[in-house]
Amino acid sequence: MNEMELMMHLHLNNDRQGPGSEEMTRLALDIARVDKATCYRMADLGCGTGAQTLTLAQELQGEIVAVDLFETFLEKMQERIHNAHLKASVTSLAASIDHLPFAEGEFDIIWSEGAVYNIGFRKGAGYWKNFLKEGGILAVSELSWTTGSRPNELEQFWKEAYPEVDTVSNKIRVLEDLGYKVLGHFILPEYCWMENYYLPLLERHPSFMKEFGHLEVARNIVSMDKQEVDFYKQYKDYYSYGFYIAQKM
């Protein structure tokens, strides 16, 4: 197994593959002032195993195209969809979020939690705008500094992992530069990281190591996860995911 397959194996049975919560998805929907009686055409980009897809489909009517690079995640998402009572229909699409087979102006809502970093925030928000109708909504969560300055060690760590990490105000500026009207933003609280993401991931480590601990690449994954969690605990006052809700003008 290569690194990607091992990571998928490690994350597959967790509810989510990044920080977030149902409550925060609903808060973003409130800020977007969606109308629950309208049928929307929506895309959920980098959906993983579908944590936010489920919430969107419970809250809204219409159709959701849930996109991820990995079929395995999409199959798990479909299992969860199948077992839930939903208002919207959900179809899955295995594709890269920087190369999408959609038509211009096709969507009312484009959603993406914890996934835009894979192609970069500016590129993603700019590219996805093509697929939104005028007045359509972009809701996207993105790693962001929550203060104007921060310890060097932390800055080096995240700059290396994700060079586009930036302050909330600069993320908003990017959306404004791209021609969006920013409707609102908020910062994901600690439980979205610890209870909903890191703790379930750490709980999976022992069984993962039992199965794959003989592989150096698996041991590296576990040690990187632990390092990331330790960083979060030490420096959580300085960064989080910002959730940005904007409208195509």
Q: How far apart are CA 130 and CA 134, in angstroms?
A: 10
The binder of ligand SAM chosen from 6, 10, 17, 34 (CB under 6 A): 17
Q: Which residue number, 73 or 128, has a Cβ lying nearer to ligand SAM? A: 73
Burial label, 140 (beta-carbon count in 10 A; 0-12, 13-18, 19+): buried
Which residues have a Cβ under 8 Å from the Cβ of 247 and sit 6 or more positions away?
135, 136, 137, 138, 180, 181, 183
Please tell me whether residue 27 binds ligand SAM under the rule CB under 6 A: no
**Does residue 91 bind ligand SAM (CB under 6 A)?**
no
Contact map string, positions 223 to 242, toward ligand SAM, x by CB under 6 A: --------------------
User: Does 68 participate in binding ligand SAM (rule CB under 6 A)?
Assistant: yes
Candidates 17-25, 35-43, 149-157, 167-175 — which segment interacts with ligand SAM by CB under 6 A? Answer: 17-25
Measured CA to CA, the distance from residue 25 to residue 81 in angstroms comes to 17
The backbone torsions φ and ψ at residue 105, rounded to the nearest 5 degrees and listed phi first, read 65, 25
Any idea which residue has 């409550």 for tokens?
23
Binding of ligand SAM by 65 (CB under 6 A): no
Count residues near ligand SAM (CB under 6 A).
Answer: 22
What is the binding site for ligand SAM (CB under 6 A)?
16-18, 20, 46-48, 51-52, 67-70, 73, 96-98, 113-115, 118-119
